[in-house]
Amino acid sequence: MKSISLDYHHQRGTHCITTAMMNLFNHFGIELSEEICFGLGGGLGFTYARGRDMDQFMVFGRSDDLELNICEILGVHAILKQEHNSEKALQSIISLLERGEPVLVDLDTSRLSYLSRTLDWPEYATHGGHKAVITGYEEVTRTLEVYDYIWGTPRSLPVEDLFKAWKTYSGISPASNLWYEFTVPNTFVDLDQALRKGIYLNVYRMLTPWNKFHGIDAMRSFLREVPNWPYLMNEEKRKKLAFSSYIALEIGGTGKSAFRRMFSRFLKQAGHILDEPQLINVGEYYREISLLWTELAERIRVGSIDPNEGIFSGSPDNEQLTDEIYKREYEQFQKLHNLSSSWL
């Protein structure tokens, strides 16, 4: 009977992917802060997708492929693996654990009971993308040892509960039995070089997104549309979508303010490492922008309780706030564009 529990040190964090990558890199022998992981992966972004049904809707303040971007910039070889049969996928995880390798997996927050209860995450807001690290397996009880970002000790997760969150069938990006395998080099890319690449990547992906659902274009669409949701959907749907948006922007592992606080801290840390005062300056501006996002999130929360109040009240203050957020974000990314272009 298999009983595996890896020697794995876990430090709590504010976001699932950056916490997982911080701890994995520490396990690999390189110490990075959670904020530096966020910036190396080009983490700041925006996603706004709106479909006909509830599960086709997504609001999120982060870019995608953060974990793969970090690895590419640092020179770590990361492979995303998939097996449609859950039992076979589990056996692959167990094989990696037997080799002494912790395993990063992709899960659906809304189907992960211990996390959805903690975050008050609504079941209708279903999509993959939540990351946790599996570090152990007990064959007799069929339970896994799982480290998740806000707990200092591992969760004991029954295999059947893993399967529910590991493979889903609805949402924009359903979880589909994905895990990651890493090959770590003997030496890593110079941190100064990696930071510059990460910032340039973030600027590029934010200002020239690969489709209209991401980046500055998606953020502009969301900020223009959210005060006008009363014209787009009925009251009940509006309340549900407002609540899920509030959770996604302010509560669900974002570090508050749609990841803007974390980005502010990253820019300040990077500015000191690189001796770039302008990064520190932009980081301070992003701290101010984060306060505006928190104000917007609160108005959205009020609208989730009363569909004719808060962001849905019709007050001109709402559009003044959203216009101010967009203006400030665009100005700061233009500054980062000019700075990062000078590094090429």
- Residue 56 confidence class, pLDDT cut points 50, 70, 90: low
pLDDT of residue 50: 79
- Residue 188 confidence class, pLDDT cut points 50, 70, 90: confident
Where is pLDDT greater, at 211 or 68? Answer: 68
Count the Cβ atoms, other than its own, within 10 Å of residue 18: 32
Q: Is the pLDDT at 115 greater than 90, yes or no?
A: no
Count the Cβ atoms, other than its own, within 10 Å of residue 164: 16
Q: Is the pLDDT at 325 greater than 90, yes or no?
A: yes
Distance, CA of 214 to CA of 191 (rounded, Å): 27
pLDDT of residue 180: 97
pLDDT of residue 126: 77
Judge whether 305 and 239 are in contact, CB under 8 Å.
yes
Q: What is the average pLDDT value for the chain, to the nearest integer?
A: 94
Q: CA end-to-end span of the chain, whole Å?
A: 55
Collapsing DSSP states into helix, strand and coil, what is residue 242?
helix
Per DSSP, helices labelled H in 148-259 are: 159-166, 191-207, 215-225, 235-246
Burial of 45 (0-12, 13-18, 19+ CB in 10 A): buried
Handedness of CA 22, 166, 112, 234 (dihedral sign): positive
pTM: predicted TM-score of the whole model, two decimal places: 0.94
Residue with tokens 């700041």: 44
Burial of 152 (0-12, 13-18, 19+ CB in 10 A): exposed
pLDDT of residue 175: 87
pLDDT of residue 54: 63
Q: Is the pLDDT at 249 greater than 80, yes or no?
A: yes
Give the mean model confidence (pLDDT) for residues 232-258: 92
Residue 105 — φ and ψ, nearest 5°?
Answer: -125, 155
Where is pLDDT greater, at 118 or 17? Answer: 17
pLDDT of residue 1: 67
Domains of the chain: 3-31+77-183 (3.90.70), 191-341 (no CATH)
Amino acid in position 34: E
pLDDT of residue 4: 97
Q: Is the pLDDT at 137 greater than 70, yes or no?
A: yes
